[in-house]
Structure 1
């Protein structure tokens, strides 16, 4: 099983008409998207999240059907709301309503006990690693988990909610075996710096596998400094919401299916890492063919072709 720790966010897509604004709400949040995608691909997934009891929380639980919610927290605080607008390429720009919401209120007691029993990999990141007051609890939990499972981190940068300094990627690399981020994330975190140099610094800090996704340009794969690229499949794009989360799910699903998760990725070589990323790119492309952060119902079969 793969455990995913982080937030679930209500993604409200705005449609403007004369004199009114209509919001169409879909379940989102990077970690929740990844957990749902793993389940859709056929990999057992456990979601460690704080799910509100409000109407959005009901929507999240419906979306996470098939995901183990045994250790999800039933939170009293409201859900986080993100209002998104899409540009002509289907790319979202978000405005967040996130103060005092459920996703950031983690306590050590909520992540204690058998939450990682039966787990080979922990995936986390996104806003849960940078939003107070719970960020220190989440980081400490991930660092401790690295002693027993593979750890994957996705910064999933949101500049409107956290400063550049809040994204302590170099520190996270001390416990992260896998680091997946987008080229937009990289441009925000390390503006103007060559991607190869940044990857090497993150390898030196501890991350074994670094993958930088580049939208229609594919992805750069760096395994301990050995680099290769994979192309992005051509699809009819509805929107790109959740494509990065789907990529992460595809990557972890593929590695898990080959028995490569559970340790420090010692059995992974550059050619195999490229195969994993190529599969992940196919999964990400599938996410672009549907509205919102979702995958087609037959995603496992389609991606496996």
Structure 2
């Protein structure tokens, strides 16, 4: 990947999602359900979705050991993602056991103790971040889990201070890992996770946050999503996207009226990777429009931003029509537009 290209750099974890195969049943006694191993994790999903949309993208991830690592790497490669950001690691790959609710919403059980994803150092990050980065996207578990979250925060602060790229943050809270016994074992607590995210959000140019995340981060704000979106925009971000499942997407920008967009109506297989696909669609649209600086993002008129957001919502909707995180290609997106 040459340094003169505008690159989307996505930093975060790799997770293998074990998804239930309903058609296979659970065995004679209901005790042996079938699962399919699918590559996942916020960062991998965003990078793969962006790659399928034709975006120059590098995934910055620590690739752990074991047989599952081969499939993760191949999945990324097939999407056209630059592999130079994959750092070989000696720790294991993260694993998530996924259950699906009646509406297709996922329920997770994580096996992530001592995983490769949480061990970033300053030196490792400096070695894999491409000089042509135009957007740096961070978030999810690795961004608020020690010890690596400290190195990630320092990188975000450096990139923001240099003004060399837009910084995007997605909290993507997983309550089981952020608090309680499992969170404690990882070095997390509700207070520490909120403090670590505040540090990142204070440097963010773009924030994508879900209503589900807000219910955990700010329980008292759940009844006023409009006001919360505007307040989050006033925290420093140039653009805040607040998702709420199939409800309207809220778009907040400092000093401007709140905007809402209805997501496309589709038959949902499940919603795994929907938010990640939306983020990738947003980044693709911004890079296509040449929006690579804070000033350009602030000056972008609503009439140009809204079609970009609509496309991003369509990318997410198409992902939801298929099982697991399986975002569309650019050709599929263009066909769906028609």
TM-score by length of 2: 0.86
Say which of 116, 120, 127 aligns to 2:141.
Answer: 127
Matched, 1:30 2:46: no
Rate the CA distance shift 1:210–1:20 in 2: closer, same or farther, 3 A. Answer: same
Query: CA offset at residue 256 of structure 1?
Result: 0.9
* 1:41-56 alignment runs, 5 A limit: 41-56=53-68
* 1:11-22 alignment runs, 5 A limit: 11-15=17-21, 16-17=26-27, 18-22=30-34
Q: Paired residue for 1:230?
A: 261
Deviation readout 1:191-225 (Å, 9 max, x if unpaired): 13122332333223211111111121131111114
More helix by share: 2
* 1:257-276 alignment runs, 5 A limit: 257-264=288-295, 265-276=297-308
Contiguous gaps of at least 5 residues in structure 1: none
Q: Paired residue for 1:112?
A: 126
Query: CA offset at residue 57 of structure 1?
Result: 1.1
Contiguous gaps of at least 5 residues in structure 2: 1-6, 180-189
User: How many pairs are equivalent?
Assistant: 305
CA radius of gyration, larger in: 2
Equivalent residue of 2:177, what SS? Answer: coil
Deviation readout 1:84-120 (Å, 9 max, x if unpaired): 0001111100010011001111011101146231111
Does the CA contact (< 8 Å) of 1:92 and 1:240 recur in 2?
A: yes
| Partner Cα separation in structure 2 for residue 73 and residue 153 of structure 1 | 22
| Partner Cα separation in structure 1 for residue 66 and residue 248 of structure 2 | 38
Equivalent residue of 1:21, what SS? Answer: coil
Equivalent residue of 1:31, what SS? Answer: helix
Equivalent residue of 1:7, what SS? Answer: coil
- RMSD of equivalent CA atoms: 1.7
Equivalent residue of 2:264, what SS? Answer: coil
Equivalent residue of 1:176, what SS? Answer: coil
